[in-house]
């Protein structure tokens, strides 16, 4: 999409859309990780699998650093859940 956005002159719109998607996904991940850490979820492995899917979405839109952060936070939340 990046090449097509450049050709059609809509790179700034694409960039805004990507940033908006990153913001929404990371906000949802934050809420999800908080729920896991507080013990509010019943099936933590399933919830953390959904978080991994969100990290894959971030990777698909070339947001590799936020995807790494999401994966690190999910791993930490998973390890906290196992020790609790």
Q: Given this model, what pLDDT does residue 9 score?
A: 72
Phi, psi of 40 (to 5 degrees): -80, -10
Q: Which of 70, 71, 79, 58 is nearest to 30 (CA)?
A: 70
Name the pTM for this structure. Answer: 0.80
pLDDT (tens digit, 9 = 90+) per residue, 21-49?
999 999 999 999 999 999 999 999 999 99
DSSP 38: H
- Angle (CA) 69-80-39 rounded to 5° is 100
């Amino acid at each position: 999409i990046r090449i097509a956005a450049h050709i059609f002159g809509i790179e700034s719109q694409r960039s805004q859309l990507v940033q908006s998607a990153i913001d929404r996904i990371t906000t949802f991940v934050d809420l999800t990780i908080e729920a896991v850490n507080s013990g509010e979820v019943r099936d933590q492995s399933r919830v953390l699998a959904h978080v991994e899917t969100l990290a894959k979405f971030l990777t698909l839109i070339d947001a590799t650093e936020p995807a790494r952060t999401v994966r690190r936070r999910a791993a930490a939340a998973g390890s906290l859940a196992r020790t609790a």
